A = this chain, B = another copy of it.
């Protein structure tokens, strides 16, 4: 380094794209900004990452503070997404954001009008470059679903094959053939039958299944 001026770091921030399924639709967690800039716009939850704290630790602390969601227990999967760093993305000054994406089920944020899940198909205008970040996270999620068992993070401990297929359809954004879906998914050996059935209406009950593992694994061949 040959600086003649002292080194000054950009601001470091963290943001999270937290997905879950609600009523068979993919939703993302947003907060309404209480302050300028972008006051009253919806935005991804996030905040400042100070020296001495890892991005995951900062994110965990901030998401808890701002939304009531506890990353370690409410999310069943989290991964780093991308680092966004265009100088002008924050009007207050150069801020580099390390973004994460997480998946869960039955995530219940603090009760507050300024905290809500929105279907990704019907997002409001978002602050900063957050629309771009959500789009990137959704693409990553689609891709992840096609070569890993990541769908486990969206489903309850036991689930029917119809629920499993519905999760794929909600995230992929298109329908799948029932027979082919079942044949292919069962051949991956990611799930096994339980002895339980799910009874819902005046019709035949559905077999409940569960995942062999709740940790991310790569598939032997891809899925779509």
Contacts and interface: CB of A to CB of B under 8 A. Distances in A.
Contacts of A55: 83, 85, 96
A12 B96 contact: yes
A195 B12 CA distance: 53
Contacts of A87: 52-54
Interface size class of A (residues with CB under 8 A): 20 to 34
A49 B11 CA distance: 11
26 contacts: A1-B47, A2-B65, A3-B50, A7-B11, A7-B50, A8-B50, A8-B51, A9-B10, A9-B11, A9-B49, A9-B51, A10-B12, A10-B49, A10-B50, A10-B51, A12-B96, A49-B96, A51-B93, A51-B94, A52-B94, A54-B85, A54-B87, A55-B83, A80-B82, A80-B83, A83-B83
Interface of A: 1-3, 7-12, 47-55, 65, 80, 82-83, 85-87, 93-94, 96, 98, 222
